[in-house]
Structure 1
Amino acid sequence: MSWPKTYSAFKRSGGAIPQTLQASEESLPAELGAHEVLIKIHAVSLNFRDAGMLHGRYPVPILDGGVPCSDCAAEVVGKGSSVQGFEVGDRVAVIPDVANLTGSDATQASSPGSDRPGVLREYAIFDDTLLVHLPKHMSWEEGASLACAGVTAWASLGSVSSVPEGASALFQGTGGVSMCALLISLGAGIQPIITSSSDEKLKAIQALDPRIKTINYKTHPNQAEEVKRITNGRGVNFVINNTGPASIIDDIELLCSRGGSVALVGFLEGWKAEWDPSAIMGIMGKNARLQGIAMGSKKDFEAMNRFLEDKKIHFTPIIDRVFPFKETRAAFEYLYAGKHTGKVVIKMPGDGK
């Protein structure tokens, strides 16, 4: 096996906020460790956290001057002598939390693109335990959209296990997690409801499938009333909260009478909340669950990929825009400005097949 001696990457500038992205040339070793896998990265997708780190808006440990991004679709081009389960030519992704293999690991979260080098580069080396096989029917761009947003959506929907008849879900906003959750919901028979302040975005989303319901929260500020109307008075089984703690009490109100769940996955509107702490007791009356979701485990990722492959679900409809690698800075600016609906992808140099 042979591979290039050098490759191109982008790194955070480090230092004062806001930081910038700087092009870099990096070196590859001549040999791999026993359990190391060398991957050629074909596509990378962006999450809010990737841009948020540059602006000091994502409070996690960050490797100074590190390579950003956690989500990629790649091809195995080299492997160590003891690697099991992967062969040259396999299509793979990196798990978004390398310390979370089973969901019960007693280790602190650690993610490519934050406290360790990420995937915004042509080549990378990872331990074989940190990779998963991609669904065979997906393109590189689709595969790159799975790791962070997809696994978070999957975990937020309870891994779509034991979905009750007539189940429904509400997703805040039109970012990556919400759009991934929308497609997973359709595949699992869950009625999706998605919110936005843009009629244009909602119209485009509704055109994907007639089962999708939408709410413009600017023109319909009483979301609970709209949800009751859409669900014939039942309320939803799942709420995916991308905005933060301020709306938690409203989210609980949207839930069905028994057994619903609110997944707190983001904080786009900040960390503060002004509701009375006693209001949280509404979750008890509904026998509901409030759960923080910090992506998911390798086990979750593998289960989601099996589901997507079995249902032949494509993520192409939720890829908003694809930027070439040389326009990486523009891709970050586009996402940070909130211009996207769904996933923003960077296509790496090469044939892209």
Structure 2
Amino acid sequence: MNVKALFVILFLWLISALGALAQSFAGLGGDAEGFDLPQRGTVFEFPADHGAHPGYRIEWWYLTANLRDAEGTEYGLQWTLFRSALEPLERPGWDSPQLWLAHAAVTTPSAHYVAERRARGGIGQAGVIADPFEAWIDDWVFAGADMAQMSLRASGTDFAYDMALEAQGPLVFHGDRGYSQKSASGRASYYYSQPFFDISGILTLPDGPVQVSGQAWLDREWASQPLGASQVSWDWFSMGFEGGARLMGFTLRDTEGGSYTAATWIERDGTATPFPDGAFSAEPLVQSDVAGRKIPTSWRATLPDKGVDVTVEALNPQAWMETSIPYWEGPVRISGTHRGRGYLEMTGY
């Protein structure tokens, strides 16, 4: 076989495999035979658990940030690296069953910039090293020592960013000490966050560079079959309140019109209180025309046990991620019983 023919075959194989990656994110309730499953009571080990877990089918390193410039203009930033496995193991070279997908975005009050990268594992193009920590795909990199002092960079056709982050609080574990239940049938993931990053650096936009600073939130999650078979979409909220408290809440929606919710209330010192299904609620208030569909871009979110009853409004309603798996993701403003800023992700619309 000549070199050109071999290249064509490898290219087609890569495209096919990466297509499977996109499908895997759309089917998180699918079959996970042969893969590891989260177990209640597992004790996390660091720095190892900052790294990849190839025995699990899906995993992500998901960072969002609320930023301001010197004039007070608000921005949002996203950097996400996804890993998906065709088999529960890792092999070096082109026959690695580990697939990688990454999204980067910057949101302003009037624009939303998005880029996507894809890679095969095993060839050095993408991966995660636990100690010292480094997550990368091509020249997009999130790295630093023990999740404490980090650097972050990514770029797209119309934007780039180069940021420094410093943790101001501890890691936070969701659910039962990091075992995060996602359905009444008991489907679950391992889930922890670093919601206390200070972040600063340069956004490069079409009008030039902008110096910004603010707060960032990192989510770490891995599983093999986290959703129930009928669960198809979700709305996920991260909120940072004036005074220092934080709140994570999500609603998972199913094909019958039902939902499953969970939340974590986080004190300013990092003390976390998990809340089970039904304690947190999110009700759409306003819908916007976005990418040819109706998207709820204003919500009422409540957690009565903590006196939370807030309105969550998109900074830019047009923050649509036109990626392999399209979804809405963007910064939000929070008002009501608590004031602050945060991020909202919505899928299935």
From the two aligned structures, give the one with the greater strand fraction. 2
Which is bigger in relative contact order (C-alpha 8 A, separation at least 6)?
Answer: 1
Is the structural similarity TM-score above 0.5? no
From the two aligned structures, give the one with the greater helix fraction. 1
> TM-score, normalised to structure 1's length?
0.28
